[in-house]
Structure 1
Amino acid sequence: MQYIKIKETIAEQIEQGMLAAGQKLPSERQLAETFATTRVTLREALSLLETEGLIYREDRRGWFIAPPRIDFPLSTAEDFLVLAEKQARQASLSVIRAKNTLANKQVSGWLQLGPFAEVYAVEMLRYLEKRPVCLVRYWVHAEKHTVQDCDAAQELFAWLRQRESLHELNVSDSVTVGCLTGETAVRLHAAPGTPAIVIERKVYRGEYPVAAEITIWRHDTLTVTSNAVHLSQ
């Protein structure tokens, strides 16, 4: 099929370094002319490349070559900025909001809260090489803490590190695959329907929940990893 051949040709050029990370592809019209095909067939090829994480689309800007993925270990108290630095990546954060607010039903369930309970809620964006790659939302018990200035808000474990003994905490993660929609797609400069990886994280001290976090990643930006576990009879 022609779209498979187009996809393999572009993938080969990426693998050989002829197309560099972050480089913008020619317009769909130009690519269709180059491959002597229709826009419909070309888009099938581009969709396959996007699914494999080799290219990504920015809404109204076109298609780009995806940078290398970042390795993201599950169930560890690792800050994103530290993790990125270890992997020689340029990372940054921007805070959208940080405030005390009433917990909704989902957050109340995660943190085992009663009616009208307040939480300290933070929403922020993570960037790799100045590209927004992840929307973060986390919640902690508000009765123990006072509201911070939005500009002073930190990532979850950096925030906890100043207030909790991390070696007494346990982390539990669950991973699902979804797509970017609405405000999340806008903030990540993505077209609606772009694939996403969603990680729900809960932090416990013993059986007591301390915090909860959701991170919504563009799917081409990370590889989820887990430590090996030795099994014995």
Structure 2
Amino acid sequence: MRNDAPRAVTAICKALAEQIEHGLLPPGGKLPAERKLSEVFDTTRITLREALVQLEAQGLIYREERRGWFASPPRVLYNLLGRSHFNAIVSGQGRKPSTDLLSARLQPASAYICGLLDLPALSSVVQIRRARRIDGRLVLYVEHYLNPALFPGILELDLSGSLTELYAAHYKIHYGRVRFEMLPTALQTEAAAALRVSQGSPALHIVRTNRDQDGRLIDCDLEYWRHDAIHVSVEVID
């Protein structure tokens, strides 16, 4: 039985992948309950769960806490050199963006944030926490940290839309040079709760540090993307 398990996992993965590829399990469509799938494939819940986890790692399916498994929608293309923002990127690909504002406040900056924004010790920063959706699906948890000296009164404004557009309209600030750092990670408590997934789920962590048109460090974003929701693209032209 132990020797048969790997073959069973491979067979289940192949069968479900084919169903997704041919549209029988449409993007965003809910898979049958694990119990039902175990009966369909005549296997144990342990073997089935291993197959589902492998498909999740491949980005073909995803899981939501207390809701079950779903076929993953197409990934959104994220061009790091495009100098665009979430709403424009998603809308430009025929998808619907939306944002949940989780919190916004002035708080002491951690040593890490002080380093990113080149702030002195014991500085304050504006922290804005948001969860972002594509076609209603939670895909991104982000913490924005702003230098408060450059954005007076920002906590009184509508922070559920594009910060890029808000900066330009209210402060005449436009993005200039941008620095990105990326690494795969496992979601910790706060990000996992915001995205309604299990703690430890795979994710792509992007740290974005932004300067304005005058070269000033203005803010940084700590982004946590569901790993199956994003396709990072960079094209360098001589």
Q: Secondary structure at the match of 1:143?
A: helix
Equivalent in the alignment of 1:213: 221
Conservation of the 8 A alpha-carbon contact between 1:99 and 1:147: no
User: Partner of 2:3 in structure 1?
Assistant: none
Q: Deviations over 1:14-53 (max 9, x none)?
A: 0011111111111111111100111111111111110111
With structure 1 as the length reference, what TM-score do the two structures score?
0.92
Instruction: Give the corresponding residue for 1:144.
Output: 150
Name 1:171's counterpart in structure 2: 178
- Match for residue 80 of structure 1 among 77, 83, 86: 86
- Separation in structure 2 between the aligned mates of residue 139 and residue 190 of structure 1, nearest angstrom: 24
2:85/2:162 contact within 8 Å kept: yes
Question: What is the CA–CA distance in structure 2 between the aligned matches of 1:4 and 1:161, rounded to whole Å?
Answer: 52
CA distance in 2 between partners of 1:35 and 1:174 (Å): 42
**Cα–Cα, structure 1 residues 84 and 150, in superposed 2: closer, same or farther, change >3 Å?**
farther
TM-score, normalised to structure 2, is 0.90
Distance 1:214 1:155 in 2: 16
Is 1:102 matched up with 2:108? yes
1:37 aligned to which of 30, 36, 43: 43
Which residue of 2 is the match for residue 47 of structure 1? 53
Does the CA contact (< 8 Å) of 1:97 and 1:122 recur in 2?
Answer: yes
Matched, 1:115 2:121: yes
Q: Percent identity?
A: 32
The 5 A counterparts of 1:120-135 are: 120-135=126-141
| Alpha-carbon distance in structure 2 between the residues aligned to 1:73 and 1:158 | 19
Q: 2:166: which partner in 1?
A: 159
Alignment partner of 1:199 is 2:212: no
Amino acid at match of 2:211: Y
- Tell whether the 8 Å contact from 2:150 to 2:218 is kept in structure 1 after alignment: no
| 1:97 and 1:150 in contact (8 A); partners too | no
- 2:237 is aligned to 229
RMSD (CA atoms): 1.7
Q: Structure 1 residues 151, 3: CA separation in 2 closer, same or farther (over 3 Å shift)?
A: farther
Deviation at 1:166, TM superposition (A): 2.6
| Partners of 2:96 and 2:189 in 1: CA distance | 27
Name the aligned partner's letter for residue 207 of structure 2: E
Name stretches of at least 5 consecutive residues in structure 1 with no aligned partner: none
Check the 8 A contact 2:81/2:235 in 1, yes or no.
no
Residue 196 of structure 2 corresponds to: 189
Equivalents in 2 of 1:147, 1:55: separation in Å? 42
Q: Distance in 2 between matches of 1:217 and 1:203?
A: 19
1:65-116 superposed Cα distances (whole Å, 9 cap, x missing partner): 1111100111443111111111000110111112222211111011111122
Q: Indicate the SS of the match to 2:183.
A: strand
1:152 aligned counterpart, secondary structure: coil
Q: Which amino acid aligns with 1:227?
A: E
Give the match's secondary structure for 1:138. Answer: strand
Q: What SS does the corresponding residue of 1:49 show, helix, strand or coil?
A: helix
Task: Tell me the alpha carbon deviations over residues 110-145 of structure 1, each in whole angstroms, 9 at most, x when there is no partner.
Answer: 111112212122111101111111011111211232
For the residues of structure 1 that align with 2:71 and 2:156, how far apart are their CA atoms? Answer: 34
AA paired with 2:223?
Answer: T
Change in Cα spacing, 1:155 to 1:101, as seen in structure 2 (3 Å) is farther
